[in-house]
């Protein structure tokens, strides 16, 4: 007899609902669930990943039992141990290290939003360490910071019938976000509403647009300043809104005066007339929306000013919190991650040990406290652990040198840092020197291969899901597990809880299962776990013009900023080393002059580089196990325009090697439509079918673009510490050596 259970796919952040047919605790079939958010047949038809759920549940390469290292680190020799053996030993070793070096000796690494990270963060908090690393400086957070400090909270695009113009800036939802949002953009592209895409590559999103602007990478701040100049010059400003709700308009006017379209055209290498056209389309629409992404999140020094300038574009055109523009999210009704993590409760201890403080005065506990003092006025809690996450340059340094204190242990959850963190050689060396590494993953990865323990994580379908975006919006989606985890896998929550119980944290983990923890998270709301499981979503529609709502004293609540208004000129940022108004930063230089000279003499050419632009079907270093995907996209590629290829003497399919001071990686050339002065290299490539032991580490040294990148603070953004994966430089040369991805390649040859 089979049963039918609701559950969710988690192969992307969209978490589509499914119905699983379950027999004797095993899923025998899985079908889309039309009754639950966010069902859309077009999305499922366009998604190549979901059928993989069944295969992955019981894939022969999955890790099913706790593994303990035998032999040298990386030697690939493991023994299966029981959970008790593994957790008792890990806890004992962590306790010993804590006694010797203090709790800050434990660091952690996380990746993209593959799971709920607050259980790890809670564990770290209670252990006493602030040293969680991850996406805190490069994915999502720079935008959160600048939105919060300009508007008092985060903003989201609200594309409705009212929307009269859309700008998509440095994001390519056609590949990165196969969701309703992309479907909506396609409709906009076909309608009368102008759709503008700003991207050095002619992406599928750009192809759907009315206007494609391709600035030189990393010049977006100048472009935004140029747009502001035109809006002001041509009086496309919503004066009523600006007078009532914006602070520092006159300062902004003076600031952008020199940024004429002609000046900006020179910097960005786009026609001045295009800059005027974009400004006119955006400024003359009654309502306009603007969405940005990774293309401007990961550009080092310029990240904060670019986001600030974009905030100003929305504000002076009045496109804030009105239907069809960009709306302020609301704090969550359910318990926010900041509270689940215990960050605020243990603030003092974490702050004392925080490595970031003097280096990145915003991305640290002191910066968080200053921002929190503003947002708490409207009762909103920031996801503290992301916004304070430790800078990898500093943590790696503490691993390498023991300064300012030794970091000797590492927990790695849902990330593959040897492929996805900057400067692979450095990460590799640092990991090799540690006393204890614990990895939680589904698979043996190159990173897991270096661990002392690999713990088998339960995936979607086997665990409940609750995607809450750090609690910066009043929405969460997901649903229940269809089955108990297969074999001896456990949910990430349970693993951290069981470890916590062994380290004196018993009282802080009252909920035994992740399901109970989610039910507790929902407890302040009217929705129960059962309601949530049934509908697949917690959502309360947001209101508009919330700044006009009257507070208890009968005056409009305004914006949760220093001045209560939208801060075009920031009163806050100078307190943390920033400027009142956006000023573009310098670009990251990965190649030293000596290196360029030496390589040039050897026949290499210098060229601009962007990395990791999203493509289906892979996701960072994931899904390379899928044979159908591998057939469809068999080789790591570097994209370039036809003119660039001709200039470099290359043709489609040629092998090339890219290099910087940090290292090298090899790719195949693909010819696409994009700017002529830049190339785009894939990221995440390794061979899951090879064994992960040293020295091959799953083949990850060959085509790993992060062998070239760097997270060093010296050229990072000074308040947050953002490093660059875009707007980079590298050297390139043709390389005829066969790549291991080619058919017939033999490892022995
Ligand atoms: N298939 C797939 N989907 C994913 C992921 C994945 O790995 N694979 N990862 C997920 C994650 S972690 C994230 S953060 C999101 C990111 O999702 P997006 O923000 O949509 O990221 P990308 O698709 O890389 O789009 C960034 C775009 O910026 C452009 N760009 C690069 N440099 C510049 C620049 O200097 N200026 C401008 N204006 N544009 C620039 C690139 O050409 C690229 O098209 O995607 C998520 N979705
Ligand atoms: N050069 C370059 N580097 C980049 C980027 C870029 O564009 N260019 N993008 C950056 C960005 S935005 C991001 S977000 C990161 C992404 O970086 P990562 O998140 O490190 O990348 P993934 O390859 O998705 O690694 C996820 C790992 O987690 C495992 N996993 C998945 N789900 C779970 C789970 O529920 N529990 C556990 N325990 N494990 C799980 C997977 O098996 C996989 O090994 O990369 C960053 N690095
Ligand atoms: S769109 Fe994302 S969540 Fe939905 S089925 Fe595809 S991979 Fe899964
Ligand atoms: Mo990301």
Name the residue with tokens 């006159």: 250
Helix (H, G, I), strand (E, B) or coil at 326: strand
Q: Is 136 in the pocket of ligand 1 (CB under 6 A)?
A: no
CA distances 6 to 464, 480, 494, 719, Å, are 10, 7, 21, 44
Tell me how far apart the alpha carbons of residues 544 and 520 are, in angstroms, rounded to a whole number. 29
The tokens for 539 are: 């959502």
Cα gap 297→137, rounded to integer Å: 9
Using CA atoms, how far apart are residues 602 and 463, in angstroms rounded to an integer? 54
CA atoms within 13 A on the CB side of 259: 27
For 605, the 3-state DSSP assignment is strand
- Distance from residue 14's CA to the centre of ligand 3 (Å): 6
Neighbouring residues of 627: CB distance < 8 A, sequence distance ≥ 6 = none
Residue closest to 265 by CA, chosen among 297, 226, 228: 226
Ligand 3 centroid–CA 49 distance in Å is 6
Alpha-helix residue ranges (DSSP H) falling in 388-441: 392-401, 417-420, 424-432
Q: Half-sphere exposure of 154 toward its Cβ, with a 13 Å CA cutoff?
A: 24
Q: Ligand 2: does its nearest atom lie under 6 Å from the Cβ of 441?
A: yes
Indicate if ligand 1 lies below 6 Å from the C-beta of 218: yes
Token couple for 124: 């770290």
Contact by Cβ (8 Å): 81, 467: no
Distance 670 CA to ligand 4 centre (A): 24
Percent of the chain at pLDDT above 70?
A: 100
- 203 CA closest ligand 1 atom index: 44
> Rounded to whole angstroms, how far apart are CA atoms 681 and 703?
9
Alpha helix (H) residue ranges in 449-528 = 492-501, 514-521
Over the stretch 636-689, which tens digit does the pLDDT of each residue have? 999 999 999 999 999 999 999 999 999 999 999 999 999 999 999 999 999 999
Q: Which of 414, 688, 698 to mutate to test the pocket of ligand 2 (most atoms within 8 A of CB)?
A: 414
Question: 146 near 312, Cβ under 8 Å?
Answer: no
443 CB within 6 A, ligand 2: yes
**Tens digit of pLDDT for each residue in 353-377?**
999 999 999 999 999 999 999 998 8
Q: Which band of pLDDT confidence, cut at 50, 70 and 90, is reported for residue 1?
A: confident
Backbone angles phi, psi at 218, to 5 degrees: 80, 5
Condensed to tens digits (0 to 9), the pLDDT of residues 597-651 reads 999 999 999 999 999 999 999 999 999 999 999 999 999 999 999 999 999 999 9
Ligand closest in space to the Cα of 456: 2
Helix (H) / strand (E) element for 373: namely: helix 365-375
Determine the distance separating the centroid of ligand 1 and the alpha carbon of 139, expressed in angstroms.
10
**What span, in angstroms and rounded, lies between the C-alpha atoms of 142 and 148?**
10
Q: To 5 degrees, how large is the angle CA 530–CA 533–CA 538?
A: 100
DSSP state of 391: P
The atom number, within ligand 1, closest to the CA of 727 reads: 35
**What are the contacts of 365-368 at 24+ separation with CB within 8 A?**
365/130, 367/576, 367/719, 368/343
Ligand 1 closest atom vs CA 294: 19
Which residues hold their Cβ within 5 A of ligand 4, which is an ion?
112, 139
In the prediction, which pLDDT does 180 show? 83
Q: Within 10 Å of residue 39's Cβ, how many Cβ atoms?
A: 16
Give yes or no for residue 175 CB within 6 A of ligand 1: yes
Q: What are phi and psi of 670, to 5 degrees?
A: -125, 135
Question: Does 11 sit in the ligand 3 pocket, CB within 6 Å?
Answer: yes
H-helix segments, 649-684:
none
CB atoms within 10 A of CB 592: 11
Helices (H), ranges, 77-117: 83-101
Angle between helices 220-233 and 261-268 (to 10 degrees): 160
Map residue 667 onto helix, strand or coil: strand
User: Mean pLDDT over residues 188-207, rounded?
Assistant: 97
Rounded to the nearest whole angstrom, what is the distance from the C-alpha of residue 693 to the centroid of ligand 4? 27
At residue 39 the predicted structure's pLDDT band, cuts being 50, 70 and 90, is confident
Give the up-direction half-sphere exposure of residue 619: CA atoms within 13 A in the CB hemisphere. Answer: 18
Q: Please name which ligand lies nearest the alpha carbon of 611.
A: 2
* Residue (of 159, 172, 198) closest to 277 by Cα position: 198
Instruction: Give 489 Cα–ligand 3 centroid separation in angstroms.
Output: 22
Residue among 36, 100, 89, 41 at smallest CA distance from 67 = 89
Whole-number pLDDT of residue 743: 83
Ligand 2 pocket check for 289: Cβ under 6 Å: no
- Nearest-CA residue for ligand 2 atom 4 is 420
- Which residue, by CA, sits nearest to atom 25 of ligand 2? 415
26: left (phi over 0), alpha (psi -120 to 50) or beta: beta
**pLDDT (tens digit per residue) in 209-240:** 999 999 999 999 999 999 999 999 999 999 99
Q: 440: which strand partners?
A: 413, 455
Find out whether the beta carbon of 457 lies less than 6 Å from any atom of ligand 2: yes
Average pLDDT over residues 26-54: 91
CA-CA distances (angstroms) from residue 572 to 25, 155, 530? 55, 18, 43
Nearest to 475 by CA among 532, 531, 540, 526: 540
pLDDT at 748 over 70: no
User: Is 8 strand, coil or helix?
Assistant: strand
Q: How far apart are CA 157 and CA 732, in angstroms?
A: 39
Q: Residue 684: CB within 6 Å of ligand 2?
A: yes
Distance CA 176, CA 469 (A): 16
Query: Three-class SS string for 120-139?
Result: HHHHHHHHCCCCEECCCCCC
Structure token pair of residue 699: 């083949």
Ligand 1 nearest atom to the CA of residue 172, by list position: 20
Mean pLDDT of the chain: 96
Closest ligand to the CA of 665: 2
Q: In ligand 3, which atom is closest to the CA atom of 53?
A: 8
Cα-to-centroid distance, 336 and ligand 2 (Å): 23
Angle between helices 492-501 and 118-127 (to 10 degrees): 20
SS3 of residue 653 by DSSP: coil
The region of weakest confidence among 207-221, 370-384, 479-493, 563-577 is: 370-384
Considering only CA atoms, which residue is closest to atom 12 of ligand 2?
Answer: 139
Residue-wise pLDDT for 88-139, tens only, equals: 999 999 999 999 999 999 999 999 999 999 999 999 999 999 999 998 899 9
Write down the pLDDT at residue 220.
Answer: 98
Distance in angstroms (rounded) separating the CA atoms of residues 136 and 142: 8
Q: Quick one: which atom of ligand 3 is closest to the CA of 11?
A: 7
Best residue among 8, 112, 427, 469 to mutate for probing ligand 2, ranked by most atoms within 8 Å of CB: 112
Span 445-484, pLDDT tens digits: 999 999 999 999 999 999 999 999 888 889 999 999 999 9
Tell me: the pLDDT tens digits for 265-324? 999 999 999 999 999 999 999 999 999 999 999 999 999 999 999 999 999 999 999 999
Tell the residue number behind the tokens 């993953």, with chain if given.
Answer: 441
- Residue 17 Cα, ligand 3 centroid: separation in angstroms? 9
62 DSSP assignment: B
Which residue has its alpha carbon closest to ligand 3 atom 2?
Answer: 12
Calpha distance 694→99 (Å, rounded)? 32
CB 621 near ligand 1, within 6 Å: no
pLDDT at residue 749 in the model: 47
Q: Which of 8, 9, 537 to mutate to test the pocket of ligand 3 (most atoms within 8 A of CB)?
A: 9
Cβ 30 under 6 angstroms from ligand 3: no
Ligand 1 binding pocket includes 615 (Cβ within 6 Å): yes
The structure's pTM equals: 0.98
Question: pLDDT at position 96, please?
Answer: 98
Ligand 2, atom 37, lies closest to the CA of: 414
Assess whether the C-beta atom of 493 lies below 6 angstroms from ligand 2: no
């Amino acid at each position: 007899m089979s049963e039918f259970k609701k559950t969710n796919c988690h192969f992307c952040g969209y978490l589509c609902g499914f119905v699983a047919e379950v027999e004797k605790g095993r899923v025998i079939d899985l079908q889309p669930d039309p009754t639950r958010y966010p069902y859309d047949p077009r999305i499922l038809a366009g998604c190549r990943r979901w059928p993989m759920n069944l295969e992955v549940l019981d894939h022969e390469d999955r890790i099913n039992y706790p593994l303990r290292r035998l032999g040298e680190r990386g030697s690939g020799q493991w023994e299966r141990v029981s959970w008790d053996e593994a957790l008792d030993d890990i806890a004992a070793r962590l306790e010993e290290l804590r006694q010797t070096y203090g709790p800050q000796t434990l660091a952690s690494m996380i990746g993209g939003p593959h799971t709920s990270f607050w259980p790890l963060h809670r564990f770290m908090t209670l252990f006493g360490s602030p040293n969680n690393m991850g996406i805190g400086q490069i994915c999502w957070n720079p935008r959160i910071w600048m939105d919060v400090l300009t508007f008092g909270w985060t903003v989201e695009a609200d594309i409705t019938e009212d929307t009269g113009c859309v700008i998509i800036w440095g994001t390519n939802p056609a590949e990165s976000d196969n969701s309703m949002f992309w479907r909506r953009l396609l409709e906009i592209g076909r309608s009368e509403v102008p759709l503008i895409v700003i991207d050095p590559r002619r992406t599928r999103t750009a192809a759907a647009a009315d206007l494609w602007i391709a600035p030189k990478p990393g010049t977006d701040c100048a472009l935004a300043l140029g747009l502001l100049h035109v809006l002001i010059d041509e009086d496309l400003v919503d004066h009523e809104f600006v007078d009532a709700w914006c602070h520092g308009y006159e300062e902004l006017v003076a600031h952008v005066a020199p940024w004429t379209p002609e000046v900006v055209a020179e910097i960005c290498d786009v026609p001045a007339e295009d800059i005027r056209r974009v400004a006119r389309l955006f400024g003359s629409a009654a309502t306009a929306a603007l969405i940005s992404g990774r293309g401007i999140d990961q550009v080092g020094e310029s990240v904060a000013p670019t986001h600030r300038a974009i905030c100003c574009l929305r504000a002076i055109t009045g496109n804030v919190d009105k239907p069809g523009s960009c709306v302020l999210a609301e704090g969550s009704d359910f318990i926010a991650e900041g509270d689940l993590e215990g960050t605020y409760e243990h603030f003092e201890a974490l702050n004392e040990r925080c490595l970031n403080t003097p280096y990145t005065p915003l991305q640290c506990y002191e910066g968080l406290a200053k921002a929190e003092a503003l947002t708490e006025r409207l009762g909103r809690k920031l996801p503290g652990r992301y916004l304070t996450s430790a800078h990898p340059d500093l943590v790696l340094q503490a691993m390498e040198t023991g300064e300012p204190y030794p970091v000797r242990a590492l927990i790695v959850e849902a990330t593959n840092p040897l492929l996805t963190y900057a400067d692979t050689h450095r990460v590799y060396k640092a990991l090799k020197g540690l006393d204890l590494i614990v990895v939680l993953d589904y698979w043996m990865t190159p990173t897991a291969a270096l661990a002392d323990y690999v713990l088998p994580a339960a995936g979607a379908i086997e665990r409940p899901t609750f995607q809450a975006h750090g609690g910066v919006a009043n929405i969460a989606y997901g649903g229940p597990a269809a089955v108990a985890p297969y074999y001896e896998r456990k949910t990430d929550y349970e693993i951290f809880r069981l470890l916590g119980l062994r380290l004196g944290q018993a009282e802080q983990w009252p909920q035994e299962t992740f399901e109970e923890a989610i039910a507790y998270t929902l407890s302040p709301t009217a929705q129960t776990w059962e309601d949530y499981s049934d509908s697949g979503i917690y959502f309360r529609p947001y209101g508009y013009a919330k700044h006009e709502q009257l507070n208890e004293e009968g005056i409009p609540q305004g914006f949760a900023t220093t001045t209560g208004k939208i801060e075009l000129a920031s009163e806050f940022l100078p307190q943390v080393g920033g400027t009142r108004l956006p000023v573009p930063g310098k670009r990251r230089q990965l190649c030293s002059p000596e290196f360029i000279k030496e390589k040039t003499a050897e026949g290499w050419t210098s060229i601009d580089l962007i990395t990791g632009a999203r493509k289906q079907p892979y996701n960072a270093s994931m899904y390379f196990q899928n044979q159908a995907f591998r057939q469809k996209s068999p080789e790591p590629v570097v994209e370039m325009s036809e003119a660039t290829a001709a200039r470099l003497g290359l043709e489609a399919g040629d092998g090339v090697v890219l290099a910087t001071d940090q290292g090298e990686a090899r790719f195949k050339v693909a010819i696409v439509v994009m700017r002529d002065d830049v190339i785009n290299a894939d990221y995440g490539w390794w061979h899951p079918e090879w064994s992960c032991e040293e020295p091959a580490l799953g083949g990850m040294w060959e085509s790993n673009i992060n062998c070239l990148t760097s997270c060093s603070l010296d050229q990072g953004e000074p308040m947050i510490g953002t490093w660059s994966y875009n707007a980079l430089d590298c050297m390139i040369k043709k390389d005829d050596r066969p790549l291991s991805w080619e058919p017939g390649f033999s490892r022995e040859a």
